[in-house]
């Protein structure tokens, strides 16, 4: 049960039940669709840039609690970041979820550190990373991503 | 479901059955393993493990090749497995049994040999909505190549094939019909004998995908009347990578070979190669020798246990599980056919199957979550995925209780 609580932390459960920025976006400067063909999850991520800065980011779609919470917390984390900062944050987040808890908490991830439990559960890594791959595609003006091509 | 007598059910000693499966002593996340993923792949009894081990430890060699003692022993054991499969399926002749990697390879073989020689532009291949991807995609590839049309018989809300629609979809252009014996995602038992009769009245041959049929039902290809029957060893307590295609000898004789290589030839010159006789014509290359021999041991195992007794035991578990699961608030069974075997597929209100699967895993309970390689079934029910508990000969009512307990825990974690 401890490992289970580690994975499904209260913050994650809260964001999965009440996802933030869960909406379509009028006048988005970029959007992309992400798919996980293995489980049927699908999410659309919208971004609005002003210059190089992410002014707004939102998502719509259906997925498990890990992917929904990851998308929700990602939208909060990315607002106000430059494109380069967003991609750098994704790199650090990805490192967190693909390594075990044993390797220690990642630096300066803030609230996103709650996803460390995913590193102990390799089959769920794609759930957590899908929204990030999708926002990266939206920021780069690419339309679609799939967990099976990343 | 099989109509076994209650007396036989009482004789079934599930505790003794469990003793035969070494893996059932293992723990997962510190909990005793509750293995409910038999439709994906079943666990192996000791006799199967020992049979495979014995091949490598005492008489392994290539088959149908050498004059030396080990080759003779391996060949005898390999061919003895063919005889066991023949009897198990009630086929007339051993040469009608082709050893392949599994059901997927068997369906591809039929599509690429019989299909390619018989299906032309404007012809039709008929399947059903409840097929596994391995009984869809090989026919799609064939139809694309030939300019033929793939027709699909619909299913109703219970997950049963609409037989009237099936019959209407059989046309003078139907060159091939391919149908699952039992649906892997829903558990529906198709009335295959009736479907074969309908197809034969229109002159169309029928392939039955028996991957989920063989573990749960007694199969008699002669009585069923099918032209091809395919199954995988690993779903009937044998090893993976060893499976079977049964084909009526007349059809197999007339079919062109599939893969070329050793074993499948009678003589080779650069001008002309003549092909070997059945079944070797379709067994190019060195086969999974130890796997096939162990598949023979798996067939001995289920035959000794009694196919009717296994079916009755699973029938009891399915009825018990159906009652127990439907009593959970917010749970909906997907697949409620009147004739069903081995599968409890379900969704829980507001909780994603992957989350269910993860929480159950921490309770030591192995289930499958996802689309079960049957995306058209999921689409038919408007679902991205389900959670599936699938039963085998060693499962118990206590394990169903553990599943129910696990699902309460799931609701505890994600509820509110």
Token pair in block for residue B195: 């479907």
Q: What is the pLDDT of residue B65?
A: 81
Mean pLDDT computed over B186-202: 98
- Kindly report, residue by residue over A33-52, the tens digit of the pLDDT: 998 877 778 899 999 999 99
Beta-carbon contacts of residue B157 (< 8 Å; ≥ 6 apart)? none
Q: What is the pLDDT of residue A139?
A: 93
Decide: B90 and B222 in contact? Cβ < 8 Å.
yes
- A7 CB neighbours in chain B (<8 A) are 358
Q: Given pLDDT bands bounded at 50, 70 and 90, which one contains residue B4?
A: very low
Q: Given pLDDT bands bounded at 50, 70 and 90, which one contains residue A100?
A: low
Mean pLDDT computed over A100-124: 77
Q: What is the pLDDT of residue B284?
A: 92
Q: Rounded to two decimals, what is the model's pTM?
A: 0.92
Residue whose pair of structure tokens reads 């489980």 in the numeric block: A39
In chain A, which ranges are continuous DSSP H helix? 2-7, 10-17, 65-78, 83-98, 125-139
Residue A100: CA count within 13 A, CB half-sphere? 3
Give dist(CA B381, CA B372) in Å, integer: 13
- B358 CB neighbours in chain A (<8 A) are 4, 7, 121, 124
DSSP B135-158: GTHHHHHHHHHHT-EEEEE-B-TT
Asked if pLDDT for residue A146 goes beyond 90, the answer is: no
Q: What is the pLDDT of residue B87?
A: 98
- A41 CB neighbours in chain B (<8 A) are 384
Give dist(CA B198, CA B202) in Å, integer: 7
Residue whose pair of structure tokens reads 């494109």 in the numeric block: A83
Would the CB atoms of A4 and B413 count as touching at under 8 Å? yes
Of residues B352, B378, B383, nearest to A63 (C-beta): B352
- Kindly report, residue by residue over B130-144, the tens digit of the pLDDT: 999 999 999 999 999
- A4 CB neighbours in chain B (<8 A) are 358-359, 362, 413
In angstroms, how far is CA B317 from the centroid of its own chain?
Answer: 20
Q: Given pLDDT bands bounded at 50, 70 and 90, which one contains residue B395?
A: very high
Of residues B352, B375, B378, nearest to A64 (C-beta): B352
Asked if pLDDT for residue A55 goes beyond 50, the answer is: yes
Q: Which of B202, B198, B246, B238 is nearest to B222 (CA)?
A: B246
Give the residue numbers in B contacting A (CB under 8 Å), as ranges: 29, 351-355, 358-359, 362, 369-371, 375, 378, 383-385, 413-414
Q: What is the pLDDT of residue B8?
A: 46
**How far apart are the CA of B371 and the nearest CA of chain A, in angstroms?**
6
Token pair in block for residue A119: 């590193």
Q: Where do the DSSP E strands lie in B82-122?
A: 97-100
Catalytic residues of B: 373
Q: Which of B354, B362, B194 is nearest to A16 (CA)?
A: B354
- Kindly report, residue by residue over B87-125, the tens digit of the pLDDT: 999 999 999 999 999 999 999 999 999 999 999 999 999
Residue whose pair of structure tokens reads 């993860």 in the numeric block: B358
Mean pLDDT computed over B387-395: 98
Q: What is the pLDDT of residue A105?
A: 57
Would the CB atoms of A39 and B385 count as touching at under 8 Å? yes
Give dist(CA B210, CA A137) in Å, integer: 43
> Helix B137-146 vs helix B103-110: angle between axes, to the nearest 10 degrees?
20
Give long-range contacts, CB 8 A cutoff, 24+ apart: B222-227.
Answer: B222/B90, B222/B91, B222/B92, B223/B90, B223/B193, B224/B192, B224/B193, B224/B196, B225/B193, B225/B196, B225/B197, B225/B200, B226/B192, B226/B196, B227/B251
Bridge partners, A41 (sequence order): A36
Mean pLDDT, chain A, integer: 88
Token pair in block for residue B187: 């558990």
Mean pLDDT, chain B, integer: 95
**How far apart are the CA of A66 and the nearest CA of chain B, in angstroms?**
8
- Kindly report, residue by residue over B206-264, the tens digit of the pLDDT: 999 999 999 999 999 999 999 999 999 999 999 999 999 999 999 999 999 999 988 88
Question: Which of the residues A7, A64, A120, A148 would you substitute to probe the B interface, choosing the one with the greatest number of B C-beta atoms within 10 Å?
Answer: A64
* DSSP designation for B236: G
Compare B371 and B32 and report the one with higher pLDDT.
B32
Q: What is the pLDDT of residue B1?
A: 44
Buried b (16+ CB within 10 A) or exposed e, B306-334: bbbbbbbbbbbbbeebbebbeebeebbbb
Q: What is the ipTM for the molecules in this complex?
A: 0.85
DSSP A97-138: HHS-GGG-PPTT-GGGGGGGGGGG-GGGHHHHHHHHHHHHHH
Q: What is the pLDDT of residue A107?
A: 66
For the ranges A21-25, A33-37, A98-102, the one whose mean pLDDT is highest: A21-25
Q: What is the pLDDT of residue A40?
A: 73
Give dist(CA B141, CA B108) in Å, integer: 10
Give dist(CA A120, CA A103) in Å, integer: 11
Q: What is the pLDDT of residue B60?
A: 97
Decide: B131 and B378 in contact? Cβ < 8 Å.
no
Give dist(CA A138, CA A29) in Å, integer: 9
């Amino acid at each position: 049960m401890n490992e289970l609580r580690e994975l499904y932390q209260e913050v994650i459960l809260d964001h999965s039940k009440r996802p933030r920025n869960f909406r379509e976006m009028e006048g988005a400067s970029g959007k992309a669709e992400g798919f996980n063909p293995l489980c049927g999850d699908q999410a659309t991520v919208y971004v609005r840039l002003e210059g190089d800065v992410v002014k707004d980011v939102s998502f719509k779609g259906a997925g498990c609690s890990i992917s929904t919470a990851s998308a929700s917390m990602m939208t909060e984390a990315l607002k106000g970041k430059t494109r380069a900062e967003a991609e750098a944050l994704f790199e650090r987040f990805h490192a967190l979820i693909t390594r075990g808890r044993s390797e220690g908490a990642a630096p300066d991830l803030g609230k996103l550190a709650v996803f460390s439990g995913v590193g102990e559960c390799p089959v769920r890594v794609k759930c957590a990373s899908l929204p990030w791959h999708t926002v990266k595609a939206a920021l780069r003006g690419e339309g679609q991503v799939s967990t099976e091509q990343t | 479901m099989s109509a076994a007598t209650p007396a036989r059910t009482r004789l079934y000693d599930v505790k003794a059955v469990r003793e035969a499966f070494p893996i059932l002593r293992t723990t997962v996340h510190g909990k005793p393993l509750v293995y409910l993923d038999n439709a994906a792949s079943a666990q192996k009894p000791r006799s199967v493990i020992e049979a495979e081990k014995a091949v490598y430890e005492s008489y392994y060699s290539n088959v149908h090749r050498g004059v030396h003692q080990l080759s003779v022993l391996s060949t005898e054991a390999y061919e003895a497995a063919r005889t066991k499969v023949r009897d198990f399926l009630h086929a007339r002749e051993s040469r009608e049994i082709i050893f392949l990697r599994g059901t997927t390879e068997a369906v591809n073989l039929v599509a690429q040999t019989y299909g390619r020689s018989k299906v032309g532009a404007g012809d039709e291949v008929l399947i059903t909505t409840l097929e596994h991807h391995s009984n869809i995609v090989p026919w799609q590839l064939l139809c694309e190549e030939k300019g033929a049309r793939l027709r699909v018989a619909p299913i109703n809300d219970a997950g049963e094939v609409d037989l009237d629609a099936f019959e209407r979809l059989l046309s003078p252009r139907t060159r091939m019909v391919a149908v699952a014996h039992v649906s892997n995602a829903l558990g529906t038992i198709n009335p295959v004998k009736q479907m074969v009769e309908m197809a034969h009245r229109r002159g169309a041959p029928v392939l039955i995908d028996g991957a989920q049929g063989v573990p749960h039902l007694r199969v008699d290809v002669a009585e069923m009347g099918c032209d091809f029957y395919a199954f995988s060893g690993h779903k009937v307590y044998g090893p993976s990578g060893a499976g079977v295609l049964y084909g009526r000898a007349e059809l197999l004789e007339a079919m062109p070979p599939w893969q070329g290589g050793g074993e499948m030839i009678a003589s080779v010159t650069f001008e002309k190669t003549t092909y070997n006789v059945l079944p070797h014509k379709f067994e190019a290359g060195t086969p999974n020798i130890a796997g096939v021999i162990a598949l023979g041991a798996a067939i001995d195992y289920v035959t000794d246990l009694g196919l009717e007794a296994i079916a009755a035991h699973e029938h009891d578990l399915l009825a018990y599980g159906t009652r127990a699961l439907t009593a959970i608030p917010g749970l909906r069974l997907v697949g409620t056919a009147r004739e069903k075997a081995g599968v409890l597929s379900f969704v829980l209100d507001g909780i994603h199957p992957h989350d269910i699967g993860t929480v159950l895993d921490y309770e030591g309970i192995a289930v499958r979550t996802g689309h079960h390689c049957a995306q058209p079934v999921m689409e038919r029910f408007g679902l991205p995925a389900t959670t599936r508990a699938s039963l085998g000969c060693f499962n118990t009512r206590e394990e169903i209780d553990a599943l129910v307990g696990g699902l309460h825990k799931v609701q505890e974690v994600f509820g509110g």
